[in-house]
Structure 1
Amino acid sequence: MTKRKFIVIVVGIVLVIILGIGGKVYMDNKRFNGEMVNVVKSGQAKKEIEIGLKNLDSKALTPEGVIRSYEIDYESIEHNPMGAIMFDVIINKDDKLVAKFDLNNHSNIVEVGGIGLSENLSELVKGVEYD
């Protein structure tokens, strides 16, 4: 076997290994992202989101509240380095009214870890009375 043929074989083997590792990492990330989406779509998450919104506006999701509806932006779901799942919730179908939620999923218990408000949403709920 010539030296050139040996180098080609070694390079080929290295490329196959790199592609295998890359494929595994890609599939693991895809599976992990799917799991995060499932958590955000769960009934527990919906309940926690609605509790969080009612903490901002006690009449939220009723005709009397300033927060009348919400939609989860599934494209915004990402993993927080501290372990939480971060995503945006669009309020009243207005993309300027955004609540940024952090959900913690520990031992199959979903809890809101925090909520950040866009400037417009903060202004909207500023004068809301709490029960």
Structure 2
Amino acid sequence: MKNDKKEKERALSEVKKIKIRTFYSILGICLLIVIVIGGKVYMDNKRFKDEMVNVVNSGQAKKVFEEGLKNLDSKALTTDGIIQSYEVDYNSIEHNPMGGIMNKLIINKNEKLYVRVTLSKNSNNELEESGGGVSEDLRELLDKEIKVDGENR
């Protein structure tokens, strides 16, 4: 009887060990799947962000940016203009849910002076500005310049 009882305990102990191993194996497999899926999502997002940065850095985008700035300030990117220089804020680059790439141009290296630009492709597969806006501080400077020019005429 004692032997039967010991055998039953050993058998239960073995079953417990098997259950624990199975549990840890399943847990490990689940963790591995989560890590693989997370890595894939991260890499896809990084690749997508890199593609958007490449578009924003392209010559076509530069042309669109400069045309837009000259529409705001006819003397833009000259020493006579309010907008003398610009740089892309790479941290602001985002995908627009309606399509296109949103980003911010810092004007004259002043964080308070900026232009938001949304780039999208037209029917000819060329980049164009499809939206955006101007910071309040830059708008005030541009409006002052328009008033001064209007009074000088």
Identity %: 57
Cα distance in 2 between the residues matched to 1:68 and 1:38? 24
1:83 positional shift: 2.0
Post-superposition Cα deviations, 1:23-82, rounded to whole Å, max 9, x if no partner, equal 000000111110010000000000000010011111111222211111111122111222
Equivalent residues in 2 for 1:65-104, closer than 5 Å? 65-104=81-120
Cα distance in 1 between the residues matched to 2:66 and 2:86? 9
Which structure has more relative contact order (CA 8 Å, sep 6+)? It is: 1
Give the corresponding residue for 1:63: 79
Secondary structure of 2:40 counterpart? helix
Give the corresponding residue for 2:3: none
Cα distance in 1 between the residues matched to 2:121 and 2:30? 39
Q: 1:116 aligned to 2:123?
A: no
TM-score by length of 2: 0.78
Larger Cα Rg: Structure 1 or Structure 2?
2
Structure 1's unaligned 5+ residue stretches are none
Structure 2's unaligned 5+ residue stretches are 1-14
| Deviation >4 Å, runs of 4+ | none
Determine which structure has the larger helix proportion and give its number: 2
Cα distance in 2 between the residues matched to 1:37 and 1:108? 18
How many residue pairs end up in the alignment? 130
